[in-house]
Amino acid sequence: MIALARSERLKQTMQRFGSTTRLARRFVGGDGAEGAVRTARRLRDEFGITASLFYLGEYIGDPVAVEQNVEMTIAAAERLGAEGLDTHVSIDPTAIGYMAGEELGSRNAERIAQAVARQAPNGRNYLMLDMEDLALVEPTVRLHRQLLAAGLPAAVTLQARLRRTEHDLRSLVSRATSVRLVKGAFPRGPSDDHQGSRAITQNYLALARRMLSAEAREAGFYPVFATHDDALARELVDLAQANGWRPDQYEFELLYGVRPGWQQQLRAQGQAVRVYLPFGTDWWPYAIRRVGENPRNLLLLGRALMPRARS
């Protein structure tokens, strides 16, 4: 699957001829900001599910492509605001300049956060920083602190598999900010990582307990739980209830196209649900990684690549 995701030739072919395939449509919300905002509106109107828009592209060194990523993300933020939806966008630091250096990356992050801050407060307006590999963790945590110090609406993703996350989270739960907790997609060795899915899930729960503490609630901290693990989600709901958190004081965030039935079920049970909604034309590496996360998706891959006319 990694080879499929990294094959430049396959990517070019799929992206040129395959943008109408079921695979692209399943995991990607639109080619441009307008289509993605339309998808976000439909999810909100039909299911009461909110969205975080993410312009596809990662590990980008080319300054022209970096500028395009920044402009597309700002355009998405402005469009969300104009449509009366909450202005929530996600970025990968390596997509907005961190490959060229921290100064360019942080300047661009500030531009995006300012665009988010300019929109009407229609809901939860945030620039959410995605968390990439270990080399980016310290710069991303630093960027989050810098944006908060500038009074900007920034949130950060932390990875439960990383041992250092306990330390990173400690100072954040006493602030009016938001953390998106994920299991973590960048495995390292035992010195950096909790090893094995059971240990990672246990650490996720330990971190969630801190995010759902009385101290966090009093500080106006907003917990975001990004997981498709339904057993874990049930424990999180129980924990939130036991600690006196209302469902509108925290949220679940799930990937667009992954277990959509369960997403709607969770929302119907009264939980706040957001989807991470990627858009853009550079969709192949992202979509094929989603396929690789579940063996059952492999059976669907062939069918998913067929154009709609065959269904």
Catalytic site includes residue 130: yes
Phi/psi of residue 244, nearest 5 degrees:
80, 25
Of 68-76, 113-121, 180-188, 243-251, which segment contacts ligand FAD by CB under 6 A?
180-188
Distance CA 42, CA 36 (A): 10
Q: Which of 79, 180, 210, 290 is catalytic?
A: 180
Residue 182 binds to ligand FAD (criterion: CB under 6 A): yes
User: Of the candidates 255, 266, 288, 304, which one interacts with ligand FAD according to CB under 6 A?
Assistant: 255
**Angstrom distances, CA of residue 92 to CA of 59, 81, 170:** 8, 21, 23
Q: Which of 79, 92, 124, 130 is catalytic?
A: 130
User: Interface mask (CB under 6 A) for ligand FAD, residues 138-167, using x and -?
Assistant: -------------------x-x--------
Among 124, 253, 273, 282, binds ligand FAD (CB under 6 A): 253
Smallest gap from residue 114 Cβ to ligand FAD (A):
22
Contact with ligand FAD (CB under 6 A) among 76, 85, 254, 304: 254
Q: Which stretch binds ligand FAD (CB under 6 A): 18-26, 71-79, 240-248, 290-298?
A: 290-298
Residues 117-136 interacting with ligand FAD (rule: CB under 6 A): 130-131
Q: Tell me how many residues contact ligand FAD (CB under 6 A).
A: 23
258 binds ligand FAD (CB under 6 A): yes
Residue spans of alpha helices (H) in the chain: 2-6, 8-17, 22-27, 33-47, 63-82, 102-118, 134-149, 165-170, 197-211, 214-219, 230-242, 260-268, 284-292, 295-305
Contacts of 66 (CB under 8 A, 6+ apart): 60, 95, 96, 97, 99, 100, 104, 108
Which lies closer to ligand FAD via its Cβ, residue 2 or residue 214? Answer: 2
DSSP string computed for 148-175: HHTT--EEEEEETTBTTHHHHHHTTTTS
Question: Residue 236 Cβ, how far from ligand FAD at the closest point, in Å?
Answer: 11
Query: For this structure, is 180 an active site residue?
Result: yes
Cα R_g (the chain), whole angstroms: 19
> By rule CB under 6 A, what string of x and - marks binding of each residue 26-65 to ligand FAD?
----------------------------------------
**Rounded distance, CA 261 to CA 30, Å?**
20
* Burial degree of 67 (CB within 10 A; 0-12, 13-18, 19+): middle
Contact 17, 304 (CB under 8 A): no
Measured CA distances, 224 to 34, 251, 276 (Å)? 26, 5, 12
C-beta of 145 vs 228, nearer to ligand FAD: 228
- Of the residues 98, 276, 283, 284, which one makes contact with ligand FAD according to CB under 6 A: 276
Q: Which is nearer to ligand FAD, 193 or 309 (CB)?
A: 193
DSSP at 130 = P
CA terminus-to-terminus distance, the chain: 25
Q: Is residue 290 involved in binding ligand FAD (CB under 6 A)? A: yes
For residues 216 and 249, the answer to whether their CB atoms sit within 8 Å is no
> Which among 99-107, 113-121, 137-145, 226-234 is the span making contact with ligand FAD, rule CB under 6 A?
226-234
Residue ranges that bind ligand FAD, judged by CB under 6 A: 130-131, 157, 159, 182-186, 226-229, 253-255, 258-259, 276, 290, 293-294, 297
Q: Kindly list the catalytic residues.
A: 130, 180
